[in-house]
Amino acid sequence: MDGVTTRIDTAHPAGERPGHSAVPADGLVHPVALAAVGLLVLNDHLLKGLWPGFVTGKLSDVAGLAFFPLVLLGLWEVALWLARRWHGPRRRALAVAIVVTGIAFALVKTTPAGATAFGWGISFGQWVPAALVGLVTGRTAQMGPPAAVARDVTDLVALPALLVAAWVGARRR
């Protein structure tokens, strides 16, 4: 090769650059993921009240489906990291998070049991911070009844938003 030396860098897997290594759950702070959370909050707390209807009814589903697989993936990665078994982003873990989210969403939107389970999950999610504040303030926090969850098969139109999570997750590699 005319005196030219080619060096293969085996320290950095394909697609990674030195100084740009992925860390557990870093998909949660990707600008697209943060925009999805912002859209979810904006839609649920402002837009639905101003313009109730089909579009605002679906926006939260789209935003949630774009973001939630990254939450599952992040929880998995942090658990692996705590167990000292995390070795970087894995496509299989991303795929599992996306499939689990899609199946759970479909069950919540189409079955009474799924909607009820999700309602209890929301109630529990609201109770946890209140209970933590109660530990500090000495007040007791009671978990409320399950949140009302509307079953609506037309919400399944939002499932392609899972591709956003796939894109964000794949860009981490």
How would residue 78 be classed by pLDDT, with cut points 50, 70 and 90? very high
Q: What local confidence, expressed as pLDDT, does residue 37 receive? A: 96
Share of the chain above pLDDT 70, in %: 88
| Rg of the chain over all Cα atoms, to the nearest angstrom | 20
Q: Is the pLDDT of residue 164 over 70?
A: yes
Ordered by start, the domain boundaries in the chain are 26-110+158-171, 112-150
Q: What local confidence, expressed as pLDDT, does residue 11 receive? A: 47
pLDDT in tens, 10-48: 444 444 444 457 899 999 999 999 999 999 999 999 999
pTM: 0.82
CA distances from 9 to 18, 89, 92, 119, 167 (A): 10, 19, 25, 51, 26
Q: Is the pLDDT of residue 166 over 80?
A: yes
pLDDT in tens, 154-163: 999 999 999 9
* Distance (Å, whole) CA 100 – CA 159: 12
pLDDT in tens, 85-126: 999 999 999 999 999 999 999 999 999 999 999 999 999 999
Closest CA to 108 of 56, 163, 68, 49: 68
Determine the Cα angle at 73 with ends 96 and 160, to 5°.
Answer: 60
Q: Is the pLDDT of residue 4 over 70?
A: no
**pLDDT, greater one: 21 or 5:** 21
